[in-house]
Structure 1
Amino acid sequence: MTFSIVGRCEETGQLGIAISSSSIAVGARCPWVRAGVGVVATQNVTLPALGPQILDLMERAKLGASAALDRALCASEWSEYRQVTVVDAQGRTAFLSGKQALGTYHAVAGKQCVAAGNMLAGTHVIEAMIPAFENAPGHLADRLLAAVHAAIGAGGEAGPVHSAALKIAGEQSWPLVDLRVDWSDDDPIAKLDGLWQAYRPQMQDYVARALNPTAAPRYGVPGDE
């Protein structure tokens, strides 16, 4: 029902995830990212609590991706039903696909990235995501979306995709990018891509606006004079 990629940008240290699903509002349950700490996708009969638990273990217990994933799963019931991927702030990777994962499932680690999915058209769908991420130019968001488009091009899920999300942490405690398409019968990944293209020119302005309102650009909306 879901495929995703988590990754880190070597140049900026930004951490992010792109994810899509046949279920509604995948962005509400599955992607978790924390600036300077790591990024987690928790999917396949999703336990959302695993995301913040793994991030807490990396931040507070100073564990790497693999150790944090192992500890969180050891403390959790029904781990055989989960599919979880992790990249930490140093670019180290970890993943688990439980033996009860749905349908055809697969996970692959690349250079500072992990792609994973379940209910897939085939394992080659996930295999296509890693080189797409590693070889794509541009912003981390562009590279994550390139991987998702590659997955669709390779066959995607066994069923239709209905929701998609893109989430990236930069230097601040809040997400630099947090975009979602919660339900669409008509290509939610393309709609997510369109949201990113619309948001991208304004992205840094919103950071500037938050940090120093006196230096913020004006948008010409009512009350913004």
Structure 2
Amino acid sequence: MTFSIVGRCQQTGQLGIAISSSSVSVGARCPWVRAGVGAVATQNITLPALGPEILDLMERDRLAAGAALDRALSADQWSEYRQVSVIDHQGRTAVFTGNQALGMHNAVAGDQCVAAGNLLASKAVIDAMAKVFESAQGVLADRLLAAMHAAVKAGGEAGPVHSAALKIVDKTSWPAVDLRVDWADFDPIGQLDALWRRYRPQMQDYVTRALNPTAAPSYGVPGDE
């Protein structure tokens, strides 16, 4: 049903998630990121509340990824239906897959990343994601998307994929990147990649506009928002 990768850039400290699913609007329920804190992908039979709860535990209680994940799951009576991946701002990782996870599933913690999925075509899908993320060049978004393409090449899900999302935080309290394909009959990951390539040249401009409107570049469109 879902495969994802959470990752951190050692050079910039950016944290992010790329995720895809056969379900509609995976980006609305599953990826959670917070600047200077961490990133959480909650999937399988998804409990969206786990994302902000784990981030709160890492930020408020200063817990590492593993401890925050364990505490959050201990309060969830249906934890065996969950699959959750976590990375904190120091690059420490944690992952949990309950014994009620759907279909063929796998999770791999790599260097500065965790890849996980369920209802997979094969376990090799997740191995490929982690391996490609570790070796890929470019900014964090490029590396996360490279891992998603590697998952598709390795077989992806057992059924068709229909939605995808990319969410990244940098130094501001809001996401630097928050892109979604909520439903597509064909290649939502490719469509997400195309959105990123369109958004990337303007990404920093939107931060500039927010922090200092007098320095805001104009794109010459009605409303210019």
TM-score (norm 2): 0.99
The one-letter code of the counterpart of 2:113 is C
Matches within 5 A, 1:143-162: 143-162=143-162
> Could you tell me how far apart the structure 2 residues matched to 1:187 and 1:218 are?
32
Partner of 1:137: 137
What secondary structure sits across from 1:175 in the alignment?
Answer: coil
Matches within 5 A, 1:193-208: 193-208=193-208
Q: Taking every aligned residue pair, what percent have the same amino acid on both sides?
A: 76
**Corresponding position: 1:123 with 2:142:** no
Matches within 5 A, 1:157-172: 157-172=157-172
Deviation of the 1:222 alpha carbon = 2.6
Partner of 1:56: 56
Deviation of the 1:68 alpha carbon = 0.1
> Could you tell me how far apart the structure 1 residues matched to 2:55 and 2:223 are?
39
**1:23-60 deviation per Cα after TM superposition (whole angstroms, max 9, x unaligned):** 00000000000000000000001000000000000000
Deviation of the 1:223 alpha carbon = 4.6
> Could you tell me how far apart the structure 2 residues matched to 1:155 and 1:215 are?
46
What secondary structure sits across from 2:7 in the alignment?
Answer: strand
The one-letter code of the counterpart of 2:7 is G
RMSD over equivalenced CA pairs, Å:
0.6
Following TM superposition, where does structure 1 have runs of at least 4 consecutive aligned residues deviating by more than 6 angstroms? none
**Corresponding position: 1:103 with 2:95:** no
Matches within 5 A, 1:59-70: 59-70=59-70
> Could you tell me how far apart the structure 2 residues matched to 1:33 and 1:220 are?
32
Deviation of the 1:221 alpha carbon = 1.4
TM-score (norm 1): 0.99
**Corresponding position: 1:185 with 2:159:** no
Deviation of the 1:64 alpha carbon = 0.2
Deviation of the 1:131 alpha carbon = 1.3
What secondary structure sits across from 2:183 in the alignment?
Answer: coil
Q: Which runs of 5+ in 2 are unaligned?
A: none
**1:187-216 deviation per Cα after TM superposition (whole angstroms, max 9, x unaligned):** 000000000000000000000000000001
Partner of 1:25: 25
> Could you tell me how far apart the structure 2 residues matched to 1:85 and 1:147 are?
15
Partner of 1:216: 216
Partner of 2:34: 34
